[in-house]
Structure 1
């Protein structure tokens, strides 16, 4: 039996966001090279609803620290590195499901993203990962206590009306796949000190994008 034949039907929906080194707006979302030619940042996923076969995944979180040089969408990038924290609340079956889905071994969009980025994995750890997204998208944040933290507020300005959000559609470079909407934000701060990463930045780009994935293909 092939590995794909052993993969059950699965479906997850939720929130993804990053906080990265780029100026606002992050050029990567437009399939361009990063502002400074290289990028680093924190990426977070919150599963609102999800199942992997009979295994429920509702409410679980995943966080990644990453860096690379060049344009990932053109395939000419280099030095891709990543480290992952997964939600310690997950039981054994949920952990296997999270590792298969987010590691790209269960097909769907994550498999395409992993193949494209092809990162050097510096480590994976189960930890208390928190991800918070305001219902009105006024802000979002994530934390692994003492290791990683990112705090973001929605991007606004003098012509932004109350409750409005700066958003884009038809994204040339959506990290969560086609057909999603990006909400732009300002990373008030993000930091990471884990697995050889040592990041500490303020007032940089951030974006929130929903995800809706399923597999196997």
Structure 2
């Protein structure tokens, strides 16, 4: 996986190279928001079962987007970037053998790109470190134009020609309050807003998915590593 073979960090005292053995030791943080849209009927059982219950269709196909409001990898600033994700799981989430593709914001420098690949591949350890256990294959990682916009309660994400999604919370009795599953042990974060997609299209790596009307999740993230 070339993106983590050499992570380039631009430090205040000039450019230096961090060899592979340094990946997994660098402090990092990401704060922002994540959305997922999967092939499950509303609502995906993985949030509560922590992957011990099978997806509603027996397997999981998911696209996602991450908006990074603030973040860093060592002294490298990662704030303001967006990420697209494709995840394919053959059965129960907790049994692993995931296949993953990463779409990194095209505005990143080489150093920022490699740092984000290290984080989202799990190589940087910490919150996303479980990917090192669960992911069996990274299909690829590439730069793409990634937009992540919010209009009221609706989230819009576009990843080049790969992903087009529109996600909004499922309505509750009080229209002013989101329907939220709180205090979970889910890897993304403890509070998950129950949502659905009015548009959920992915065309990438030989996959053609249409998940309009299917389950979605919205989560505020506060991730860190390597601990």
Quickly name the TM-score band, shorter chain normalised: 0.7 to 0.9
CA distance in 2, matches of 1:25, 1:33: 12
Q: 1:77-92, aligned counterparts within 5 Å?
A: 77-78=96-97, 80-92=98-110
CA distance in 1, matches of 2:145, 2:225: 27
User: Among residues 105, 126, 140, which one is paired with 2:123 in the alignment?
Assistant: 105
CA distance in 2, matches of 1:107, 1:210: 20
Compared CA separation, residues 21 and 12, structure 1 to 2 (3 A): same
CA distance in 2, matches of 1:216, 1:164: 35
CA distance in 2, matches of 1:127, 1:133: 19
User: Among residues 60, 63, 67, which one is paired with 1:39 in the alignment?
Assistant: 60
1:132, CA displacement in angstroms?
2.2
Pair 1:56-2:69 in alignment:
no
CA distance in 1, matches of 2:181, 2:47: 10
Q: Tell me the equivalent position of 1:22.
A: 40
**Does the residue aligned with 1:97 lie in a helix, a strand or coil?**
helix
Structure 2: gaps of 5 or more residues: 1-18
CA distance in 2, matches of 1:5, 1:71: 29
**C-alpha offsets along residues 78-110 of structure 1, whole Å, 9 cap, x if unaligned?**
5x2221110000112211211111111111011
Compared CA separation, residues 6 and 175, structure 1 to 2 (3 A): closer
Normalised by the size of structure 1, how large is the TM-score? 0.87
Residues matched between the structures, number: 206
CA distance in 1, matches of 2:133, 2:58: 18
CA distance in 2, matches of 1:87, 1:96: 11
Structure 1: gaps of 5 or more residues: none
**C-alpha offsets along residues 101-156 of structure 1, whole Å, 9 cap, x if unaligned?**
111111101112x134213222211010111245x6x1212111322111111101
Greater displacement, 138-147 / 183-192: 138-147
Q: Tell me the equivalent position of 1:119.
A: 136
CA distance in 1, matches of 2:143, 2:212: 27
Normalised by the size of structure 2, how large is the TM-score? 0.83
Aligned alpha-carbon RMSD (Å)? 2.0
Q: Tell me the equivalent position of 2:184.
A: 171
1:6, CA displacement in angstroms?
7.4
**C-alpha offsets along residues 178-217 of structure 1, whole Å, 9 cap, x if unaligned?**
xx21111111121111111111121000011111122222
Q: 1:115-154, aligned counterparts within 5 Å?
A: 115-134=132-151, 138-154=153-169
